[in-house]
Every structure is written in C-alpha cells, then in structure tokens.
C-alpha cells in the first residue's frame, strides 16, 4: 500500500490500472477510488469491462453502491468544491437521474445549476413528495443566481461619471482617465515618450431617473435552450426590480405561455415551463409585439437558436416592423454563463439586416446592455 501523497493522487487520477506503478490503496483513499470508479468507470468502460476490472483488483464494493450510498460517501470523503463537481458530472455526463428523483439523495445534494436543469428535465418522474423537495433545490439555486446577477446589476447601475463635478473621493471607480490625460498633456516628454501624471482627477457619479420602459424577454423553451430558459427567468425577475422597468417573461414552443403576471417569482415560472415541442419563433414575437404600449420605450429580447419551425419570412418581417416603430430588438442565441451557442446563422444574419442586434451573452452582459439602452 502506498503512503506517498503524490502517488496516491496519481493513483486516484489513473484508477485501478495504475496499481502496479503507484501501489495499492487503503482506508479513505481506497474509498475515494471506489467513489470515483462508481461514477467515471461507467464512461470509460462498459459494464462487463468494469466488472472484470473489479474482479482483477479484488474488490466489488463499488458495484454495490446505491445512489444514496454514493452521495453519502462523496460527502464524507471530499471537500465541497469536489462534491459539487462530482454531482454535476453524475447528472450531466452519466445521466444518473436518481440524484434528483430520490428523496434520500435530495436531502444531501449540493444545489447547483446542473442539478436545476436535471430537475426541470425529470419533473414528470417525480411524485408529489419528491417534487416538493426538488422545488426547494430549485429555489436555492435560483436564489444564488439572482444574488450573483444582482451584484453585477448594482455595478452597472451605480451611476455614470459626472465630469462637470469633481470630488476628493479618490478611488478607482471615480477615476476620470480622459480628464486626467488632458490635464497632464503639458508634462509629456517626447524624448522618453512618457507622460508624467502630476494631477489625477476624480469625478462624482450621478444616477439618472428612468422613464417607464417595457422589457419583453421572449425565450424558446425547447430542450436545447434549457440553460437560457433558466437565466431568462432570473434576469426578468432581477430587472423587474429596477425603477421604471416593467418586465415581461414569455416562453414559447409552437404555443406561447405568458409568465408576466408571475415574473417576480422565477421559481414558479421555471416549475411551470414545459420543455420540448416544436418552435414557432414568429408566433411568439407577434404575441410580444401586441403587448407593447409605447414602441419607442420598449426592448424585446428574443432568446432562441433561430431554428424556425414556422415562417422565417414572417419572423424577418415582424422584426423589421418592430425596428421601424422604434422598438429595440436583441436576438440572443444563448443566455447562459458560457455564451457559446449553436444557432441558425443565416436566419440570424437576416434579422441583423433588418435592424436587430444578434449575439450571445451571459446574464451579466445582458443586464449591462439593457441598462445602457435604458439610459439612452
């Protein structure tokens, strides 16, 4: 048995196949290997190969672990950040949905966005008891996402530099780089090509009152857009709290579901979302257009992969009409932490040609983009 911590780490990384080179394991180190093998062994090997390898290594404990047993072992053996990664991989990579349908597991699990997605995909498998527990998990994840977005939103809405009014409060947020450069140009040394800063200028920040705006977030609820659905609900709820902003949350497949009357409760919205089905983007955009009260004070955020199951021509025409009446239209192929979408680039290009903005954003980037538009 190896006692060298470095060899132990390599053994855990490489698995039982490295026993000859790294030595055997005992105690908690052996238990960690079994927990990792229980999860990742099903990826690297078929069931038959896994069983043969266990027999060669002289142990069968890993094959006897149930999902609750595995969760308990993981929580006993690993630090929190590793626990979250293992649980996320169990759902995303191994498809072990018992993590979100077994009450014994739900009591121990560390909430994270991957598990929120799993809950939404497996809601139909849950009995009322499990569904109530899953809702608590959803609420905890949503709360964490909202707190993160709220911090970014506070930074974006903290006010803008008022260059007409100086302040003695010297900090990086109030530093006026443009004014400082202008004030110190006389100290530029052309031979050294250096500018000596003798006077740094700082400006106060001023917040502007916002007139009433409508923000309509229209999100595709097909299965591939699930992460964007989650962040759309969270974003709509956070932005609804801004003074002068009325948020709407509209989900669609071939039909439209308007969550605007409960936009302040993203948990309720997410627990009602029906994933899957076809996609009628134009129909959803037409519905949103009817909700607009003052076209020049409205922003439509269309979250979709642009794979239109309805009429692309109608979608382009509706977008053109919205832009012509003064409504800002933003098409997002992804609204999540990665912002790396797969989408119909040709249709997206047509929307850009009629005046829409199209891209992919994280929730924080979207909040800042919207704030800039609201400020004019």
- CATH number for the domain including 267? 3.40.50.410
Residues 6+ apart with CB under 8 A from 331: 302, 304, 306, 348, 351, 356, 357, 358, 359
Q: Is residue 147 part of a domain?
A: no
Domain boundary among 140, 162, 181: 140
Write phi, then psi, for 103 (nearest 5 degrees): -55, -40
363 and 219 within one domain = yes
Say if 86 falls within a structural domain: yes
Do both 135 and 281 map to the same domain? no
Report the pLDDT value the prediction gives residue 78, as an integer from 0 to 100. 85
Is the residue at 153 inside a domain? no
Report mean pLDDT in 10-residue bins for the chain, 376 residues: 60 59 65 81 53 42 63 81 83 77 81 84 82 90 90 68 48 58 65 65 51 92 88 92 88 95 93 87 98 96 95 98 97 88 94 96 90 79
Q: Which of 140, 161, 196 is the endpoint of a domain?
A: 140
> Is residue 254 domain-shared with residue 370, that is, in the same domain?
yes
Phi-psi group of 34: left, alpha or beta (phi > 0 → left; psi -120 to 50 → alpha; rest → beta): alpha
pTM: 0.69
Same domain, 368 and 235: yes
> What is the pLDDT at residue 92?
77
Q: Which domain holds residue 73?
A: 5-140
Same domain, 241 and 363: yes
**Per-residue tokens: 357:** 């903005």
CA dihedral of residues 60, 65, 71, 74 (deg, nearest 10): -10
Q: Does residue 282 form part of some domain?
A: yes
- Contact residues for 200 (Cβ-Cβ < 8 A; gap 6+): 170, 175, 180
Helix (H, G, I), strand (E, B) or coil at 180: helix
The residue with tokens 């394991």 is 25
* Judgement on whether residues 243 and 369 belong to the same structural domain of the protein: yes
Q: Is residue 156 part of a domain?
A: no
User: Are both 222 and 333 inside the same structural domain?
Assistant: yes
> Quick one: pLDDT at residue 167?
45
User: Do residues 225 and 315 both lie within one domain?
Assistant: yes
Q: Can you give the length of the chain in residues?
A: 376
* Contact by Cβ (8 Å): 370, 299: yes
Of 123, 140, 157, which one is at a domain's C-terminal end? 140
C-alpha angle 255/283/299, rounded to 5°? 110
Nearest by Cα to 176 from 207, 206, 200, 158: 200
Instruction: Yes or no: say if 198 and 229 are a contact pair by the CB < 8 Å rule.
Output: no
First to last CA, the chain: 68
Estimate to the nearest angstrom the gap between the alpha carbon of 307 and the chain centroid: 21
Residue 311 phi/psi, 5-degree rounding, is: -105, 110
Domains in the chain: how many in total?
A: 2
Residue from 312, 356, 302, 295 nearest 333 by CA: 302
DSSP string, 118-131: HHHHHGGG--HHHH
Q: How far is CA 295 from CA 134, 203, 232, 318, 321, in A?
A: 40, 35, 22, 13, 11
Place of tokens 């002068």: 244
Q: Is residue 181 part of a domain?
A: no
H-helix segments, 157-225: 177-183
Q: Is residue 359 part of a domain?
A: yes
Residue 49, pLDDT score:
42
Nearest Cα neighbor of 148 from 348, 353, 299, 365 is: 365
Regarding whether 237 and 119 lie in a shared domain, the answer is: no
Question: Quick one: how far is CA 35 from the chain centroid?
Answer: 28
Is the Cβ–Cβ distance between 219 and 304 less than 8 Å? yes
SS3 state of residue 248: strand
190 belongs to a structural domain? no
H or E element at residue 361: strand 357-361
CA–CA distances in Å: residue 343 to residues 140, 200, 225, 273: 31, 47, 11, 22
pLDDT, residue 40, reads 81
What span, in angstroms and rounded, lies between the C-alpha atoms of 53 and 6? 24
């Amino acid at each position: 048995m190896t006692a060298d911590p470095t060899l132990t780490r390599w053994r855990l990384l490489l698995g039982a196949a490295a026993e000859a080179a790294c030595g055997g394991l005992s105690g908690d180190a052996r238990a960690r290997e079994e927990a990792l093998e229980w999860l990742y062994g099903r990826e690297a090997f078929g069931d038959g190969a896994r069983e043969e390898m266990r027999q060669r290594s002289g142990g069968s404990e890993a094959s006897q672990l149930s999902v609750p047993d595995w969760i308990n072992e993981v929580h006993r053996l690993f630090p929190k950040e590793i626990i979250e990664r293992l649980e996320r991989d169990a759902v995303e990579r191994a498809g072990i949905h018992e993590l979100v349908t077994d009450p014994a597991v739900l009591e121990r699990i560390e909430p994270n966005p991957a598990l929120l997605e799993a809950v939404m995909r497996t809601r139909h498998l849950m009995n009322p008891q499990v569904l109530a527990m899953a809702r608590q998990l959803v609420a905890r994840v949503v709360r964490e996402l909202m707190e993160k977005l709220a911090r970014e939103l506070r930074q974006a809405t903290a006010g803008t530099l008022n260059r007409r009014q100086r302040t003695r409060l010297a900090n990086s947020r109030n530093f006026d780089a443009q004014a400082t450069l202008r004030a110190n140009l006389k100290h530029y040394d052309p031979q050294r090509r250096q500018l000596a800063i003798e006077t740094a200028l700082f400006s106060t920040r001023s917040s502007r009152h916002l007139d009433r705006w409508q923000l309509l977030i229209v999100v595709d609820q097909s299965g591939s857009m699930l992460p964007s659905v989650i962040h759309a609900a969270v974003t709509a709820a956070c932005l609804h709290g801004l003074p002068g902003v009325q948020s709407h949350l509209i989900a669609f497949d071939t039909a439209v579901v308007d969550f605007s009357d409960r936009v302040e409760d993203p948990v309720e919205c997410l627990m009602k979302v029906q994933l899957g089905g076809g996609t009628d983007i134009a129909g959803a955009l037409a519905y949103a257009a009817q909700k607009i009260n003052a076209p020049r004070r409205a922003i439509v955020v269309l979250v979709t992969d642009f794979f239109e199951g309805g009429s692309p021509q109608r979608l382009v025409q509706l977008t053109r009409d919205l832009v012509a009446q003064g409504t800002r239209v933003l098409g997002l192929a992804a609204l999540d932490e990665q912002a790396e979408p797969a989408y119909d680039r040709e249709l997206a290009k047509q929307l850009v040609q009629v005046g829409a903005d199209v891209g992919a954003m994280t929730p924080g980037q979207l909040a800042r983009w919207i704030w800039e538009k609201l400020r004019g």
